[in-house]
Amino acid sequence: MLATDTLTRVSWRARPRSFVALMGLYESNFVRLGWLADSLAALSGAHRSAVAGDCDLLLTVTERSPYTSTVALSYLLPEAHGASRYPDMRLRIYHDAHLVEAQQWAAVHTQPVLRALRTRAERELDQRWARNVMLNKWLEYCVERGHRFSSRTRLTAGA
């Protein structure tokens, strides 16, 4: 596996916002999620990453099969009544194909930029682009902030 997705070759046929380019974005998401958690195929349970100066990041494996896993990835945002999860993204990891797809994100966006992205995404392909570009940039940001998931970040039952 490549250590960086900047070296990944992109097909000359791939046009921005095309299906081929979207698959390239899914591949980049796989690489970037791999930066957060070394062994994506071995992930299980819930993990919490805490770094100074940033909100805690929560990753929860919700479904596993031999070739795919579904995980929830969210920031835990402190609020007066307790922490809320945002953007509450559901990701599908395709282990055999080395792809990660952002399948769903928060139903309602309070952030103006995210609300505008969702409003402009009318077609299914556009919606997938909006979700996965956001995931791609967010994963890079989380890594830059120092977030990591490992056996040490796994939450115990009831935590």
Q: What is the DSSP letter of 42?
A: G
Q: Please tell me the predicted confidence (pLDDT) of residue 54.
A: 94
If one compares 17 and 73, the residue with the highest pLDDT of the two is 73
Confidence of residue 38 (pLDDT cuts 50, 70, 90): confident
Q: Please tell me the predicted confidence (pLDDT) of residue 5.
A: 58
Q: Please tell me the predicted confidence (pLDDT) of residue 12.
A: 42
- Per-residue pLDDT at 111 exceeds 80: no
Give the tens place of pLDDT for each residue, 39-83.
898 889 999 999 999 999 999 999 999 999 999 999 998 888 888
Question: What percentage of the chain has pLDDT greater than the value 90?
Answer: 50
End-to-end Cα spacing for the chain: 34
**Domain-by-domain residue ranges, the chain?**
18-147
- Per-residue pLDDT at 113 exceeds 90: no
Confidence of residue 119 (pLDDT cuts 50, 70, 90): low
Q: Please tell me the predicted confidence (pLDDT) of residue 114.
A: 61
Dmax (CA) for the chain in angstroms is: 51
Phi-psi region of 146 (alpha: psi -120 to 50; beta: other; left: phi over 0): left
| Predicted TM-score (pTM) of this structure | 0.79
User: How far is Cα 21 from Cα 27, in angstroms, rounded to an integer?
Assistant: 10
If one compares 14 and 69, the residue with the highest pLDDT of the two is 69
